[in-house]
Amino acid sequence: MGAVRKVATYLGLGGVDQYDEPYEYEGAEDEEWMPAAERAARRWQQAGEPARIVMVQPLKYNDAPTIGKHFREGQTVIMDVTGMSMTEATRMVDFAAGLAYGCEGKIERIAEKVFLLAPADVEISAV
């Protein structure tokens, strides 16, 4: 008896037979799950390209997708929000913190209104 059927039987639910069929997806057995940041890092390593650091100076919150794009591609991002109002800068930092957390990366304040977003495979050390 499949796991789903066992749980459904335990909960007293019926008609779960439709979920016991194996899911067919071409290439699924070849794919290995890994965090997006690690996948991006492997892509950079395989391509033989050096690590990149991107400097972004957003002027409005609508510039957030640019930061997200670079970070999800495995690039370290320096985000300078000095040109933004305090309200929008706060929103942008909140966005960046969520982005870093969601991609298993890190965010560090490196100066007044300047932040470093580092992918999971980048080590940050203060000397």
Q: What is the pLDDT of residue 16?
A: 46
Q: What is the pLDDT of residue 120?
A: 87
Copy the structure tokens of residue 83. Answer: 């040109």
| 121/48: higher pLDDT | 121
Residue 108 lies in a domain: yes
CATH number of domain containing 60: 3.30.110.150
Residue 2 lies in a domain: no
For residue 83, the enclosing domain spans 53-118
Residue 78 lies in a domain: yes
Residue 39 lies in a domain: no
Copy the structure tokens of residue 25. Answer: 């997806």
Residue 121 banded pLDDT, cuts 50, 70, 90: confident
The count of domains in the chain is 1
> Do residues 76 and 116 touch, judged by C-beta distance below 8 A?
yes
Copy the structure tokens of residue 98. Answer: 């969520």
Tell me the pLDDT tens digit for each residue of 5-62: 676 666 666 554 555 555 555 555 555 666 665 666 565 555 566 778 899 999 999 9
Residue 66 lies in a domain: yes
Copy the structure tokens of residue 60. Answer: 């409005």
Query: Could you give the CA distance from residue 116 to residue 110 in angstroms, rounded to a whole number?
Result: 7
- Indicate whether 114 pLDDT > 80: yes
Residue 99 lies in a domain: yes
